Amino acid sequence: MPHLKTNMLTARPLRQHNRRSITKIVLWVVLLLVVLVIVTVAASTFFYDAVRGLETHARTGRTELEQVELYAQGLRLSEAIEHLDLADAEFAAAQHDLLRLKILMFVPGPRSTVIATDGLLKGSRSAISSLRPALAAAESVLSGLGDDDPIGLFLSGRTDDLSGVLGELTAERKRQLLIVLHESASQIRSSAVGLGESIKILESVDAGVLGLEIEQSLTTAVIRLRGLRSQLNNVSVAAELLPSLLGYPELSRYLVFFQNNTELRPTGGFLGVYGLVEVMDGSLVSTTVDDVYALDGPSESVERPIP
């Protein structure tokens, strides 16, 4: 029959062993809780700093863009370009802060917010990059303008007499403008194409998750960018065609016909007068006007052969 009584010699060491095991478990649990608290506090600080930095840089970048518009309206384009670069730097810093938040893309809730913010920053920086060449080209055209420069007066809205403005330009000034237009045509075209890509990026952003204010601001910005792209398209066409039409870099010659609609012909009128016009660097070099019968002049002195 087995002996069921407790062996007092082995019971005490067993109880001491159990106490040590429980103490170790408690210590590990406490240590784990402390680590979790530290990690939670660090993560909270990490994300809070990232969100706060992102918001600060984004708001500052938006303020800089407002300054760009203000200076551009006043034709102070060098200052406008400086603020455009500052805005780009702020949005780049915001993108850096967003990198720390992209870990949240694995969390269903914040995922859409992170994606929308990323698209908004990418579209904004793309638009800035596209606008810069056009502003630089415009600055080249307007560089050296005085307070009473005809072009400056027209662009600032202080006069609407375009023919008068063009008539006051000197031959050298016309040539300078045509040179700048000729050299800037590709930049302006690039700006228009780049804006088109920027608009596509911004239109794909689900701004509703960022709040009503940002959604409305984005809608307004896209509308204005579309209008600006349309204007740049028109300007780029003018920059590509006007120099060659106005005789830069080579002389341009034109044949002009004047129709006399009082003498009926099958075509609707009689081409009674013609003109030869030569244009160089935006100025008329020579103009010849005569009636179409004068074209027979060189052959009048030739004796007709006897039949």
Beta strand 270-280 pairing with 252-260:
antiparallel
Residue 65, Cβ density class (10 Å: 0-12 exposed, 13-18 middle, ≥19 buried): buried
133 close to 145: Cβ distance less than 8 angstroms: no
Burial 292-303 (b: 16+ CB within 10 A, else e): eeeeeeeeeeee
57 close to 97: Cβ distance less than 8 angstroms: yes
Degrees to nearest 5, angle at CA 157 with 152 and 160: 95
> 109 Cβ partners below 8 Å, 6+ apart?
none
Bridge partners of 279, per DSSP, are: 252, 284
| Per-residue pLDDT in tens (0 to 9) along the chain, 307 residues | 455 554 544 555 555 555 556 665 655 554 454 444 433 333 344 444 567 778 888 889 999 999 999 998 888 889 999 999 999 999 999 998 888 777 766 666 678 888 888 898 999 999 999 999 999 988 887 776 666 677 767 666 677 776 777 777 888 888 888 888 898 899 999 999 999 999 999 999 998 888 888 889 889 999 999 999 999 999 899 899 999 999 999 999 999 988 776 666 665 556 778 899 999 998 889 999 888 777 766 666 667 667 6
Question: Which residue is it, tokens 């082995």?
Answer: 10
d(CA 41, CA 269): 90
81 close to 132: Cβ distance less than 8 angstroms: yes
88 close to 128: Cβ distance less than 8 angstroms: yes
Calculate the CA 252 to chain-centre distance.
35
Residue 141 phi, psi dihedral angles, 5° rounding: -65, -40
